[in-house]
């Protein structure tokens, strides 16, 4: 089974775990999502079985160096990637002095209470968990409602992305610096560089086994150059 198929199977299990407690008007939506994920898994299996196998050309030393991933952003996380929902307590959250812990079945977060009947302002660490396994779904850190960094996780475990943010208003997320995406097996599959939510510089893509695919260079969010793994130019529009 491929890592993509494993991820789809884990996603199906998570959606199925939500069915029992879902409101009646949400159950049909969940069933449709489950059916869509199952169809996607079947299509993936069929496509891989029929896909021709091509020999990969060896890269030149220059292109091999160009496609070497940068170190992922080192966000200041203190919670282990392996933590489960039942292992989380108030001490682990390390909420700021003016924030309180708010806990639900599949989430725990720090927030500053404001007025009765109003949603508290996220301030500090927020953890989300999968109902089906109790594994981490995300770690996100906020300052007065503004996202500062985030780690997202695959349903099968392991990081799916990590990066910093420079939000200036709530719920408007601005990526900052190097953002890295990972395959379920831990291999880097994409890296982009951002400035205040705008792509700047090279975005590189790899297959799940680490084989380089393409790279595109951006200026102020606009693609200006694109190449294949061997350096062959590609159209940018």
Per residue in 130-169, pLDDT tens?
998 999 999 999 999 999 999 999 998 899 999 999 999 9
Average pLDDT over residues 40-59: 65
Per residue in 86-138, pLDDT tens?
999 999 999 999 999 999 999 999 999 988 888 899 999 999 999 989 999 99
User: Is pTM, for the whole model, over 0.85?
Assistant: no
In the predicted model, is pLDDT for residue 42 greater than 70?
Answer: yes
Give the three-class secondary structure for 120. Answer: coil
Q: Which residues contact 235 (CB under 8 A, 6 or more apart)?
A: 226
- The pLDDT assigned to 147 comes to 98
Average pLDDT over residues 48-74: 81
DSSP character for 25?
Answer: H
- The pLDDT assigned to 39 comes to 79
């Amino acid at each position: 089974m491929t890592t993509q198929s494993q991820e789809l199977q884990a996603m199906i299990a998570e959606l199925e775990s939500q069915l029992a407690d879902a409101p009646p008007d949400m159950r049909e939506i969940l069933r449709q999502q489950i059916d869509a994920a199952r169809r996607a898994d079947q299509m993936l299996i069929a496509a891989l079985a029929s896909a021709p196998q091509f020999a990969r050309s060896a890269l030149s030393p220059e292109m091999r160096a160009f496609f070497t991933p940068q170190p992922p952003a080192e966000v200041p996380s203190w919670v282990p990637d392996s933590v489960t929902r039942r292992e989380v307590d108030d001490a682990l959250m390390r909420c700021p002095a003016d924030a309180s812990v708010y806990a639900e079945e599949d989430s725990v977060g720090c927030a500053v209470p404001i007025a009765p009947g109003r949603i508290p302002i996220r301030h500090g660490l927020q953890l989300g968990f999968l109902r089906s396994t109790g594994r981490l779904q995300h770690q996100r850190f906020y300052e007065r409602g503004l996202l500062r960094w985030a780690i997202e996780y695959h349903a099968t475990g392991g990081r799916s992305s990590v990066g910093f943010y420079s939000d200036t208003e709530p719920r408007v997320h601005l990526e900052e610096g190097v953002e890295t995406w990972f395959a379920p097996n831990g291999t880097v599959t994409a890296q982009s560089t951002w400035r205040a939510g705008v792509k700047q510089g090279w975005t590189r893509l790899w297959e799940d086994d680490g084989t380089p695919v393409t790279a595109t260079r951006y200026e102020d969010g606009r693609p200006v150059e694109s190449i294949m793994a061997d350096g062959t130019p590609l159209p940018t529009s």
